[in-house]
């Protein structure tokens, strides 16, 4: 799965000096990203000194973006059963062992800034967005799962479900630049695949049909947007750059570039180009709403 970050709102946040102007991915591959987050933290501290403990402990006292993520999540996930120090150590081991995790962090935070009109600063996902937290917790649990620490991985899955209201199995495979908008109620099954540059809204299920074993969960290809409340069930493929309307129940494969809606979902349109995950356009034609006949 290739790494790709689209220019746009992120380039308006990072100054020309920060972005170097070399490529859309340049700000994410350099210390400019972390420098800009620290700058935002300092500006926020000057404006809202009551948040000094949060800003200093989460960002200004941290040496890197990766360390800031580890400590912020450890504060949220740690408890008397699993102290935060152990979670910080696990994150450090994971990022040291697999540089791809660092690349994923950066692509994920860029995806939020690019696609979420409510997000104007890089600091916001790092401090406040549980969709970002749930996704980066999954990345640690997935690394643990692949390295034989399955019980630690399952504990983090359970804890993330409790704290962030998401349930992502550690064995699922998730690419870079994924945007979990709101994230509450998201369920991702064990054999699910989510490729790069996918956007998923709240209360989405990527589940099994309840009667299968083995490879039994959806495969969501790159550029897909899945609307709020959609249920995608079974080992079916959602083709790249497809769009799944809110509230749909998808039981059959979805072609590339198609828009599906309804219960059960059916194709109500196609597009020859464009990336729904980036555009985040959830307004469908009248035909889409007519397709909701609620018969299975």
| DSSP letters spanning 211-226 | S--SS-S-EE-TT-EE
Q: How far apart are CA 61 and CA 40, in angstroms?
A: 14
Task: Identify whether residues 153 and 271 lie together within a single domain.
Answer: no
Whether residue 245 sits in one domain with residue 129: no
Are 9 and 137 part of one and the same domain?
yes
The predicted pLDDT at position 275 comes to 77
Residue entry with tokens 């580890």 = 70
State the pLDDT at residue 278: 78
Give yes or no: residues 77 and 161 share one domain.
Answer: yes
Q: Are residues 1 and 111 in the same domain?
A: yes
Place of tokens 């998730």: 174
Quick check: is 182 in a domain?
no
Angle made by CA atoms 192, 197, 201, in degrees to the nearest 5: 70
Do the domain assignments include residue 201? yes
Judged by DSSP in three states, 182 sits in coil
How high is the pLDDT of residue 213? 86
Q: For position 13, what pLDDT does the model report?
A: 56
Q: Model pTM?
A: 0.86
Residues 133 and 195 in one domain: no
8 Å CB contact between 202 and 181 = yes
In a domain, 174, yes or no: no
| Assigned domain for 177 exists | no
The answer on 214 and 93 residing in a single domain is: no
| Paired residues of 179 in beta bridges | 199
Whether 27 and 160 share a structural domain:
yes
165, 180, 197: which is the final residue of a domain? 165
Q: CA–CA separation, 89 vs 73, rounded Å?
A: 12
Question: 94 and 219 in one domain?
Answer: no
**CA dist., res. 159 & res. 165, Å (int):** 9
Q: Please report whether residue 106 resides in a domain.
A: yes
Q: Are 157 and 141 in contact (CB under 8 A)?
A: yes
In this structure, are 150 and 258 located in the same domain?
A: no
User: How confident is the model at residue 94, as a pLDDT?
Assistant: 96
Q: Is residue 170 part of a domain?
A: no
- 128/31 same-domain check: yes
CA 80 – CA 121 distance, rounded (Å): 33
**How many Å apart are CA 19 and CA 5, to the nearest integer?**
13
- Short-list 110, 32, 20, 17, CA closest to 64: 32
Which of 110, 130, 165 represents a domain boundary (last residue)? 165
Pairing of strands 258-262, 265-270: antiparallel
CA distances from 293 to 35, 266, 286, 288, 296 (A): 52, 11, 13, 11, 9
Quick check: 190 and 214 in contact, CB under 8 A?
Answer: no
**Does residue 61 sit within a domain?**
yes
Predicted local confidence at residue 261, as pLDDT = 95
Would you state the pLDDT for residue 22? 32
What value, to the nearest 5°, has the Cα angle with vertex 173 and ends 109 and 30? 30
Q: In CATH, what number is assigned to the domain containing residue 98? A: 1.10.3130.10
The CATH code of the domain that includes 204 is 2.160.10.10
Is 272 within a domain? yes
Per-residue model confidence as pLDDT tens for the chain (296 residues): 433 434 455 655 554 444 443 333 344 445 789 999 999 999 999 999 999 999 999 999 999 999 999 999 999 998 888 899 999 999 999 999 999 999 999 999 999 999 998 999 999 999 999 999 999 999 999 999 999 999 999 999 999 999 999 999 999 999 999 999 999 999 999 999 999 999 999 999 999 988 778 999 999 999 999 999 999 999 999 999 999 999 999 999 999 999 999 999 999 988 765 778 777 766 555 444 454 444 43
Q: How many domains does the chain have?
A: 2
Based on the fold, state whether residues 161 and 197 are members of the same structural domain. Answer: no
Range of the domain at 94: 1-165
Determine how many CB atoms are found less than 10 A away from the CB of residue 113: 22
Residue 285, pLDDT score: 52
């Amino acid at each position: 799965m290739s790494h790709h970050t689209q220019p746009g709102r992120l380039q308006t946040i990072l100054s020309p000096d920060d972005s170097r102007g070399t490529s859309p991915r340049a700000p994410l591959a350099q210390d400019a990203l972390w420098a800009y987050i620290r700058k935002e933290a300092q500006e926020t501290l000057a404006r809202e000194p009551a948040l000094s403990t949060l800003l200093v402990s989460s960002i200004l006292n941290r040496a890197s973006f990766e360390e800031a993520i580890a400590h912020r999540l450890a504060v949220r996930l740690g408890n008397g059963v699993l102290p935060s120090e152990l979670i910080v150590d696990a994150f450090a081991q994971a990022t040291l062992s697999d540089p791809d995790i660092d690349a994923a962090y950066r692509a994920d935070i860029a995806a939020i800034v690019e696609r979420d009109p409510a997000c104007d600063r890089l600091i916001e996902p790092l401090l406040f967005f549980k969709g970002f937290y749930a996704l980066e917790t999954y990345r640690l649990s997935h690394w643990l799962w692949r390295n034989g620490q399955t019980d630690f991985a399952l504990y983090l899955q359970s804890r993330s479900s409790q704290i962030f209201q998401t349930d992502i199995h550690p064995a699922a495979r998730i690419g870079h630049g994924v945007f979990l908008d709101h994230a509450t109620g998201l369920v991702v099954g064990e054999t699910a695949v989510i490729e790069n540059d996918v956007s998923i809204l709240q209360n989405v299920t990527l589940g099994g049909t309840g009667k299968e074993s083995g490879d039994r969960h959806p495969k969501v290809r790159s550029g897909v947007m899945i609307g709020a409340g959609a249920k995608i069930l079974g080992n079916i493929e959602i083709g790249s750059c497809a769009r799944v309307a809110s509230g749909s129940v998808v039981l059959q494969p979805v072609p590339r570039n198609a828009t599906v809606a309804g219960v059960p979902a059916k194709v109500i349109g196609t597009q020859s180009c464009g990336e729904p995950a980036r555009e985040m356009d959830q307004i469908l034609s009248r035909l889409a709403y007519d397709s909701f006949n609620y018969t299975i």
